[in-house]
Amino acid sequence: MSGLIERYIDRLPFEIGDPIISLGEGTTPLIYACEISERVGARVWLKLEGLNPTGSFKDRGMTCAVSAAVRDGSEAVICASTGNTAASAAAYAARARITCAVIVPEGRIAQGKLAQSLIHGARVIELDGNFDDALRLVRELCESSPIALVNSVNPFRLEGQKTAAFEVHEQLPELAALSIPVGNAGNISAWWKGFSELGVKPRLFGFQAEGAAPLVLGHTVENPETIATAIRIGNPARRDEALVALDESNGLIRTVSDDQILEAYRLLAKTEGVFCEPASAASVAGLLVHGADGVEDVVCVLTGNGLKDPDTALAQGGEMVKCADDLAALEQAVLS
């Protein structure tokens, strides 16, 4: 299967013959969610973006950002990240054989994402600060250095990520609304760019964690807090584009609490067989809490794979059962 630049080259800022750094991203499944549909009272579909090569939707943007960086002669890329952008940048930079540095908030990055960034050979810098501090600093750094910034302030990131809208439109033309977690607000802006290029207008339902909800509150949040570390962001870089997208789509932006996020996270795993990371479950939590506002077919974007964050899964899942090396004990352990 080819990657998304080859698949959508006529709608992306690339030409045949350009260097393409791809890991076969995109073309992710869209599956129906029976239990959640019943609870919400609408037909709910799940777009499994955690099945991209590094386990998140970031790969769509990163194939474009890193390919463009290579085309422009960059020998290094850098990003601030809550973890997934870092893992994706590290993987694509490794494939391009260029240097990568990632700046992450100290102690607040899920284990899987850290492991990915390190094994791909990125220089991982733990900042004594949050994501917003990290992004401010790397933007300043890039003004005076030739390193390519691959955060979603880079327009190539949005170009790549808009292809998710193309795919969902092919998979479910009757789509009436898209439910999506919002952090730095790049992804919701990219989806809207994709829909706008197609000339379709599904409603956008954006969800932020209660403790990190600058778009809902209408102002920057100084110390954002949430269990969903991927969207622990208080000053979204793509705020203005996201507000336009929400307005033009007759959309809604609302909050969900950490408890509601975790409830949706467990429900997805136990009743749909889908393991996503907590931030991704915000899209489902939002529909469960606030409803689908009368729409019939809604797609929830499950942005990242549950394996990224084993600590949360272990804390939220059941207990292991100890067993002696003995048949009767095993019978007891299995059946009781």
Rg (the chain; Cα; Å):
20
Give whichever of 9 and 287 is closer to ligand F0G, judged by the CB atom: 287
234 Cβ contact partners less than 8 Å away, ≥ 6 residues apart: 130, 132, 212, 214, 220, 221, 222, 223, 224
CB atoms within 10 A of CB 87: 31
Of the candidate spans 19-27, 165-173, 175-183, 261-269, the one that interacts with ligand F0G by CB under 6 A turns out to be 175-183
Footprint of ligand F0G on 205-234 (CB under 6 A): 230-231
Shortest distance, position 38 Cβ to ligand F0G, whole Å: 25
> Does 149 engage in binding with ligand F0G (CB under 6 A)?
no
Query: How many other CB atoms are found less than 10 A from the CB of residue 330?
Result: 13
Q: Which is nearer to ligand F0G, 9 or 30 (CB)?
A: 30
Nearer to ligand F0G, 181 or 202 (CB): 181
215 vs 267, beta carbon nearer ligand F0G? 215
Give 246's strand partners.
none
Query: Can you tell me which of 160, 304, 306, 309 binds ligand F0G, judged by CB under 6 A?
Result: 304
Least distance to ligand F0G, CB of residue 24, Å: 20
From residue 276 to residue 295, the character string flagging contacts with ligand F0G as x (rule: CB under 6 A) and all else as - is -x-xx---------------
- Binding string to ligand F0G for residues 28 to 57, with x set by CB under 6 A, is what? ----------------------------x-
**By CB under 6 A, residue 152 contacts ligand F0G:** yes
Tell me if 282 sits within 8 A of 180, measured CB to CB.
no
Contacts (Cβ under 8 Å, ≥6 apart) of 39: 288
Nearer to ligand F0G (CB atom), residue 22 or residue 280: 280
The alpha carbon dihedral of 198, 46, 278, 283 has a sign of positive
Residues 52-91: x where in contact with ligand F0G by CB under 6 A, - otherwise, as a string = ----x-x----------------------xxxxx------
Residue 45, sorted as left (phi over 0), alpha (psi -120 to 50) or beta, turns out to be beta
Say whether residue 255 binds ligand F0G (CB under 6 A).
no
User: Cα separations (Å) of 186 from 71, 144, 171?
Assistant: 23, 24, 23
CB of 333 to ligand F0G, least distance (A): 36
Residue 32 DSSP label = E
The whole-angstrom separation of Cα 230 and Cα 187 is 13
Residue for token digits 């909050």?
255
Binding interface with ligand F0G (CB under 6 A):
56, 58, 81-85, 152, 181-187, 230-231, 277, 279-280, 303-304
